[in-house]
Amino acid sequence: MEKYQIKENVYLFTTRYFPGNSYVNLYLIHDESPILINVGPPEKSQEILDALSEEIPLEKIKYVLLLDSEREHVGGIPVFVHRLTGAKFITSYLNYDLIINYTSDIKLEMMREKWVLRTGRNTIRFFESMIPTPESLFVYAEKILFTGSAFAVERINGSIDPSDRSKDIEELFYLYRKRVHKIKEYMEKLENLQLDAIAPAHGAVLSGNPGKYITQWKRLSNTLNGQR
């Protein structure tokens, strides 16, 4: 398990997950009510909890945001529910039933598109991204967009990558091109956000002018729509 500080109050915890031979990312936001984003796969639960407990007492984590239903990102839910006893778990309403399937013991709330969460210094914004899957959720906090599997590129220059990854971002767009109408719609919701980084659930945190990737996906959506 590796830990990196993205900003003063935001930490990345990342570990290699061998079934996909990729890095799985979780994020911790320190605030009056601390926030954990995703919980990782069940095989890594103890490793992740040990790493988190070195940074913050586990009982102080107040919110756990679950951005999708994929096992490598949220499969550790049964363990986390019993260890983070003071935490409230939040996901999208389309993801609700999928998350409940992991354990019925979870205290789970359904996010709505216009819902905000105030945690002290932060006002957390939620976006039903539907990218790459209908239940996917984006979260905006600390001028960072947390995106689940969207915008997930492999690590090249380290876990926090300021280099230009536009070519990789374009390849990802075409991987999700069947959802082109949704991509255009949601990029328009995101394009006015002030962004210091895009933090996906896999691979590198994109820190070099990340807003350009939102613009890039919107432009590619317009181009692809024009070809139909």
Q: Which position has the higher pLDDT, 16 or 28?
A: 28
- pLDDT band (50, 70, 90) for residue 78: very high
Contact, 198 vs 53, CB < 8 A? Answer: no
- Tell me the pTM: 0.93
Provide the percentage of residues in the chain whose pLDDT is more than 70. 97
Task: Name the DSSP letter for residue 59.
Answer: G
For the cut 60, the answer to whether the pLDDT of residue 227 exceeds it is no
Per-residue pLDDT at 15: 92
Q: In sequence order, what are the beta bridge partners of 197?
A: 144
Domains and their CATH numbers in the chain = 2-226 (3.60.15.10)
Quote the crossing angle between the two packed helices 180-190 and 211-226, to the nearest 10°. 140
C-alpha–C-alpha distance, residues 49 and 147, integer Å? 22
Among the ranges given (10-14, 100-104, 136-140), the one the predictor scored with the smallest mean pLDDT:
100-104
DSSP annotation string for 141-189: ETTEEE-TTTT----SS-SEE-S--HHHHHHHHHHTGGGHHHHHHHHHH
Quote the crossing angle between the two packed helices 211-226 and 166-175, to the nearest 10°. 50
